[in-house]
C-alpha cells in the first residue's frame, strides 16, 4: 500500500506546480487559433448538436426518456463524457509526450497525468455550470440530489487519476496500448448510458455493462443532476466501484514507481 | 572543504533488448536475463565546492551518461551517489518545446522548476537579456538556429539558480562572444562557491576554465587530476590513436567495447556486493504486492457477484439455458 501513499504524497506536495503548469498549458493550447478559448465551448456544442440530431431527433423521434426530455437526459451524460474521454486518451499519452522535456531535469513524473486532468477540468467546470443552468431554466432542478455531485466528482477524479497513471506508464513502454486506448474510448461511448437508455436491456446485460466503472460515474452524474436516487442505495455497486478503482490505482502506482526511472531508456 | 558530490563504485548498465517483445517480458516477469552494456564501470571520485571540473573522452565513452547521473536524471545500476545541492543540466537539446515560442519556453521551464509566477516575471527580463536573440524570442523555437537554441537553453538553466551546473557540450555551438559571456557567468558562479562540471571536446576551453579534469575512457575513469596533466595524457592518447591504421583503430574499439558488454574488470565487490543483499528485500516486497493485489481482485470479484444478485451462477444460467 505504501506505493499508493508515495504517489499521492507527490501529488499533494506539488499542488502549486500542477496548477501553474496546467494553467499555462491551457492558455497555450488555443494560442494559434483566432477564436481562442471560444473553441472549448464551440467544439462540444457542435458535437452535442450532431448527436442530439441523430439520436434524439432521428432515431428516437423526439420521444423522452421516462419523464425527462431526451435532450436534458442526454446532456447530463455527454458533458462528463466530453471531459472523461479526452482526459483518458491525452492523460495516457502525457508521460510519453513530455518525457523529452522532463528528462533533462528533476521533475516528479507522476504529476504529468494530473496536469492533464486539471488542464481539461477548466472547460469541464464551465460546461457543468452551463448544464445546470439549462436544467434549471427548463424546470428540472434536482434540488437536494445535487448534494451528491461533489461525491461523484471525487469518484471521477480518483478514477481518472488511477486510470491515467496506469495507462501513461504502460503506453510509454508499449506504444500499442495508446492506439488501443484510443479505439476503446471511441467504442466505449456506446457501451455507456450516454446516447441511449441502456436500462431498457435485460437486467443481466445492464449488470454486465455496469462492470465498467465509468458507468457508475455517468449514472451518478445523471442521478445528481436530474435527481432520482442516492448513491448509497446501490451499495453493491458503490462497493464494486471503489474496489476496482483502488485496484487500478494500486497496480498503477506500483508500475509507475517501478518503471519511471527507465522511461528515458524506453523511448 | 566538504565534498559536494561523492561517487563510490558507481556503474551504469543499459539493457540491450534483442526484440521488442523482450521489453514486454521484463514488465511481466521479474527476471533479469538480458544482455547488458556497461556505459560506466566502477567510478569513484569526489568533487568539492567551488570547483570547476572538466570531462573529456572519445565519443561514446560515457560522458553524457555521467552527466545524466550527476543531474540525477537516471539512477545508477550499482554503487552510491551522494549529491548535496540542486543540479541543473545544460545540454544542446536543452529540453525546449519546439512548438512554443521562446518566451513561452522560458515561462514553461521556469514553472517546471517550481518557480512562482512573480519570480518568473522577475527572471524573464534577465533571461531575455542574457540569451540576446532579439525579436526571435517571440518566434516558435522550431525556427531557431542551433546557436539560438543553445543560447536560450543556457540562459534559462543558469537563471534557475542551481548549486551544481552541468554543461554538456552546450557551448560548442555558440560563437566566441556568447562563449565569453557564458564564461563570465560561470566564473561568477565559481566565485560564489558553486560547482561546475564542464563537458567539452575543446581542450582550450577546458584548459582555460577547469581546475581538474576527468578522462573517461570506454566507461572507465582513466585519470582524474590537474588539468594540465590529464590533458597532456589525453592528447598523447589521441595522437597515438590517430597514428593507427584504420584496421588497428577498428580492432582497438572492438576490443574495448567487448569489455563494456561483459562488464569485465569490475572489481568484484562493487557489482557483486549488492546482489546477495537485494533479492530477498525485493522478493518480500513482491510477495506483499502480489498478496495485496490478489486480495483486491477478490474484493472486486465478490462485490461484482453481489451486483449480479446473491446467487451469481444461477443468475447467469437464466440467460443461457
Of B87, B117, B306, the CB nearest to A20: B117
Residue of A nearest to B160 (CA): A105
Contact A106 B300 (CB under 8 A): no
Extract the residue ranges of chain B whose pLDDT is less than 70.
Answer: 1, 17-35, 92-95, 170, 262-284, 309-321
- Touching check for A236 and chain B: CB below 8 Å? yes
Percent of chain A with pLDDT over 90: 38
Nearest chain A Cα distance for residue B141, angstroms: 13
pLDDT tens-place string over residues B187-229: 888 888 888 888 888 888 888 888 888 888 888 888 888 888 8
DSSP state of B130: H
- State the CB neighbour count (10 A cutoff) for residue B101: 20
Nearest chain A residue to B307 by CA: give it: A236
CB atoms near residue A45 (< 10 Å): 12
Residue A30 near residue A23, CB atoms below 8 Å: no
Rounded to the nearest angstrom, the minimum Cα separation between A112 and chain B is 11
Interface contact flag, A243 B296, Cβ < 8 Å: yes
Q: What is the CA radius of gyration of chain A?
A: 19
Measured in angstroms, the CA of B68 and the nearest CA of chain A are apart by 8
B248/chain A closest Cα distance in angstroms: 32
Q: What secondary structure letter does DSSP report for B266?
A: -
- Residue B267 pLDDT: 44
Per-residue pLDDT band at A65 (split at 50, 70, 90): confident
**Chain B, nearest residue to A260 by Cα:** B74
Report CA-CA distances (Å) from B136 to B140, B152, B157. 8, 11, 19
Rg of the Cα trace of chain B? 26
User: A17 to chain B: which residues are within 8 Å by CB?
Assistant: 111-112, 114
Tell me: the pLDDT tens digits for A243-255?
999 999 999 998 8
Amino acid B34: pLDDT:
60
- Closest CA in chain A for residue B157: A105
**pLDDT over 80 (residue A115):** yes
Q: What's the CA gap between A203 and A78, in Å, rounded?
A: 23
**Is there a contact between B308 and A100 if contact means CB atoms under 8 Å apart?**
no
- Residue B88 C-alpha cell reads as 541543473
Q: Which three cell numbers stand for residue A88?
A: 483518458
Other CB atoms closer than 10 Å to residue B29's CB: what's the count? 9
Model confidence at A140: pLDDT above 90: no
Which whole-number Å values give the CA distances from B195 to B49, B56, B189, in the listed order? 6, 17, 8
Tell me which residue has cell 462492470. A211
Nearest Cα to Cα of residue A171 among A236, A228, A255, A50:
A255
* Nearest residue, CB atoms, B111 vs list A24, A207, A239: A24
Helix (H) or strand (E) segment spanning residue B249: helix B246-262
Mutation for testing the A interface, residue in B81, B119, B292, B298 having most A CBs under 10 Å: B292
Interface check A2 vs B, CB under 8 A: no
Chain A interface mutation, best of B299, B313, B320, highest count of A Cβ atoms under 10 Å: B299
**pLDDT for residue A154:** 94
Of the partner residues A1, A17, A243, the one whose CB lies closest to the CB of residue B300:
A243
Taking residues A6-10, what's their average pLDDT? 90
Assign B93 to helix, strand or coil: coil
Residue B303 Cα, gap to closest chain A Cα (Å): 5
Which of the two residues, A164 and A57, has the higher pLDDT score?
A164
Query: Which of B23, B27, B95 minimises the CB distance to A100?
Result: B95
Q: How far is Cα of residue B80 from the mean position of the Cα atoms in its chain? A: 15
Chain A: nearest CA to B221, how far in angstroms? 23
Contact A101/B318, CB-based, under 8 Å? Answer: no
CB pairs < 8 Å spanning A and B: 103
Q: Do A105 and B104 touch (CB under 8 A)?
A: no
Say yes or no to pLDDT of A267 above 90: no
* Max mean pLDDT range (A77-91, A128-142, B171-185, B193-207): A77-91
**Model pLDDT, residue A82:** 93
User: What is residue A116's predicted lDDT score, i.e. its pLDDT?
Assistant: 93
Task: Identify the closest residue of chain B to A206 by CA–CA distance.
Answer: B308
Does A51 contact B at CB distance below 8 Å? Answer: no
pLDDT at A150: 92
Retrieve residue B42's grid coordinates. 566502477
- Residue A241: its pLDDT value, please? 92
HEC states along chain A?
Answer: CHHHHHHHHHHHHCHHHHHHHHHHHHHHHCCCCCCHHHHHHHHHHHHHHHHHHHHHHHHCCCCCECCECHHHHHHHHHHHHHHHHHHHHHHHCHHHHHHHHHCCCCCCHHHHHHHHHHHHHHHHHHHHHHHHHHHHHCCCCCHHHHHHHHHHHHHHHHHHHHHHHHHHHHHHHCCHHHHHHHHHHHHHHHHCCCCCCHHHCCHHHHHHHHCCHHHHHHHHHHHHHHCCCCHHHCHHHHHHHHHHHHHHHHHHHHHHHHHHHHHHHHC
Average pLDDT over residues A211-239: 86
What burial letters (b/e) apply to B244-283, b meaning 16+ CB within 10 Å? Answer: eeeeeeeeeeeebeebbeebeebeeebbeeeeeeeeeeee
Exposed e or buried b per residue across A116-125, where buried means at least 16 C-beta atoms within 10 angstroms of its C-beta: bbbbbbebbe
The beta-carbon neighbor of A261 closest among B23, B75, B91 is B75
| pLDDT for position B29 | 61
Strand partners, B216: B221
Distance from CA of B253 to the nearest CA of A (A): 24
If one counts every other C-beta atom within 10 angstroms of the C-beta of residue A225, the result is 27
Closest residue by Cα to residue B109 from B145, B50, B68, B156: B156
Residues of A in contact with B307 (CB under 8 A): 207, 210-211, 236-237, 240
Report the candidate in B103, B35, B43, B98 with the shortest Cα–Cα distance to residue B69.
Answer: B43
Each residue's pLDDT tens digit, B218-238: 888 888 888 888 888 888 888
Closest by Cα among A168, A256, A22 to B112 = A22
Give B51 or A87, the one with higher predicted confidence. Answer: A87
pLDDT of residue B6: 87
pLDDT digits (tens, 9 = 90+) for B282-306: 566 778 888 888 888 888 888 888 7
Question: What local confidence, expressed as pLDDT, does residue B270 receive?
Answer: 40
Q: In whole angstroms, what separates CA A63 from the centre of its chain?
A: 28
Dig out the grid coordinates for A178 from the structure.
495508446
Mutate to test the interface with B, among A104, A208, A267 (most CBs of B within 10 A): A104
B12: which chain A residues are within 8 Å (Cβ-Cβ)?
Answer: none
Q: Is pLDDT at A208 greater than 80 in this prediction?
A: yes
In angstroms, rounded to a whole number, what is the distance separating the alpha carbons of residues B86 and A236?
50
pLDDT at B269: 40
pLDDT class of A152 with cuts at 50, 70, 90: very high
Amino acid at each position: 500500500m505504501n506505493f499508493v501513499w508515495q504517489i499521492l504524497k507527490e501529488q499533494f506536495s506539488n499542488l502549486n506546480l500542477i496548477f501553474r503548469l496546467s494553467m499555462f498549458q491551457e492558455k497555450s493550447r488555443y494560442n494559434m487559433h483566432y477564436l481562442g478559448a471560444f473553441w472549448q465551448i464551440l467544439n462540444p456544442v457542435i458535437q452535442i448538436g450532431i448527436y442530439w440530431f441523430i439520436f434524439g431527433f432521428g432515431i428516437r423521434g423526439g420521444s423522452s426518456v421516462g419523464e425527462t426530455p431526451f435532450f436534458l437526459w442526454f446532456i447530463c451524460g455527454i458533458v462528463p463524457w466530453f471531459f472523461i474521454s479526452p482526459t483518458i486518451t491525452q492523460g495516457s499519452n502525457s508521460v510519453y509526450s513530455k518525457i523529452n522535456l522532463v528528462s533533462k531535469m528533476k521533475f516528479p513524473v507522476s504529476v504529468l497525468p494530473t496536469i492533464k486532468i486539471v488542464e481539461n477540468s477548466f472547460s469541464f467546470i464551465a460546461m457543468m455550470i452551463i448544464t445546470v443552468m439549462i436544467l434549471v431554466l427548463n424546470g428540472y432542478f434536482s434540488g437536494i440530489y445535487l448534494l451528491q455531485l461533489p461525491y461523484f466528482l471525487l469518484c471521477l477524479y480518483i478514477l481518472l487519476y488511477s486510470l491515467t497513471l496506469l495507462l501513461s506508464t504502460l503506453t510509454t513502454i508499449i506504444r500499442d496500448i495508446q492506439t488501443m486506448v484510443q479505439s476503446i474510448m471511441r467504442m466505449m461511448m456506446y457501451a455507456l448510458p450516454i446516447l441511449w437508455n441502456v436500462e431498457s436491456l435485460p437486467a443481466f446485460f445492464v449488470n454486465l455493462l455496469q462492470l465498467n466503472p465509468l458507468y457508475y460515474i455517468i449514472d451518478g452524474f445523471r442521478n445528481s443532476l436530474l435527481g432520482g436516487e442516492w448513491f448509497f442505495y446501490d451499495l453493491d455497486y458503490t462497493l464494486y466501484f471503489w474496489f476496482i478503482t483502488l485496484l487500478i490505482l494500486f497496480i498503477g502506482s506500483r508500475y509507475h514507481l517501478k518503471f519511471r526511472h527507465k522511461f528515458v531508456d524506453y523511448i | 572543504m566538504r565534498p559536494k558530490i561523492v561517487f563510490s563504485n558507481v556503474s551504469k548498465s543499459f539493457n540491450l533488448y534483442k526484440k521488442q517483445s523482450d521489453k514486454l517480458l521484463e514488465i511481466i516477469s521479474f527476471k533479469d536475463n538480458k544482455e547488458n552494456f556497461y556505459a560506466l564501470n566502477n567510478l569513484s571520485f569526489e568533487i568539492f565546492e567551488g570547483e570547476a571540473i572538466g570531462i573529456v573522452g572519445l565519443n561514446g565513452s560515457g560522458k553524457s551518461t555521467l552527466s545524466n547521473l550527476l543531474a540525477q536524471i537516471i539512477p545508477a545500476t550499482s554503487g552510491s551517489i551522494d549529491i548535496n545541492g540542486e543540479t541543473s543540466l545544460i545540454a544542446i537539446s536543452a529540453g525546449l518545446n519546439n512548438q512554443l515560442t521562446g518566451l513561452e519556453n522560458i515561462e514553461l521551464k521556469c514553472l517546471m522548476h517550481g518557480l512562482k509566477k512573480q519570480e518568473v516575471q522577475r527572471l524573464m527580463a534577465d533571461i531575455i537579456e542574457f540569451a540576446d536573440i532579439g525579436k526571435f524570442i517571440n518566434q516558435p523555437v522550431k525556427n531557431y538556429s542551433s546557436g539560438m537554441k543553445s543560447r536560450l537553453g543556457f540562459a534559462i538553466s543558469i537563471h534557475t539558480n542551481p548549486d551544481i551546473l552541468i554543461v554538456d557540450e552546450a557551448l560548442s555551438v555558440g560563437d566566441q562572444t556568447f562563449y565569453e559571456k557564458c564564461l563570465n557567468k560561470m566564473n561568477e558562479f565559481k566565485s560564489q562557491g558553486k560547482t561546475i562540471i564542464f563537458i567539452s571536446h575543446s581542450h582550450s576551453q577546458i584548459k582555460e576554465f577547469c581546475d581538474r579534469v576527468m578522462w573517461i575512457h570506454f566507461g572507465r575513469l582513466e585519470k582524474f587530476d590537474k588539468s594540465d596533466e590529464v590533458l597532456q595524457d589525453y592528447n598523447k592518447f589521441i595522437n597515438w590513436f590517430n597514428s593507427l591504421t584504420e584496421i588497428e583503430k577498428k580492432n582497438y574499439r572492438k576490443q574495448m567495447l567487448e569489455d563494456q558488454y561483459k562488464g569485465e574488470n569490475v572489481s568484484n565487490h562493487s557489482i557483486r556486493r549488492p546482489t546477495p543483499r537485494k533479492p530477498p528485500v525485493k522478493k518480500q516486497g513482491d510477495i506483499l504486492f502480489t498478496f495485496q493485489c490478489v486480495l483486491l481482485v477478490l474484493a472486486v470479484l465478490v462485490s461484482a457477484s453481489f451486483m449480479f444478485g446473491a446467487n451469481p451462477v444461477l443468475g447467469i444460467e437464466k440467460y443461457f439455458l
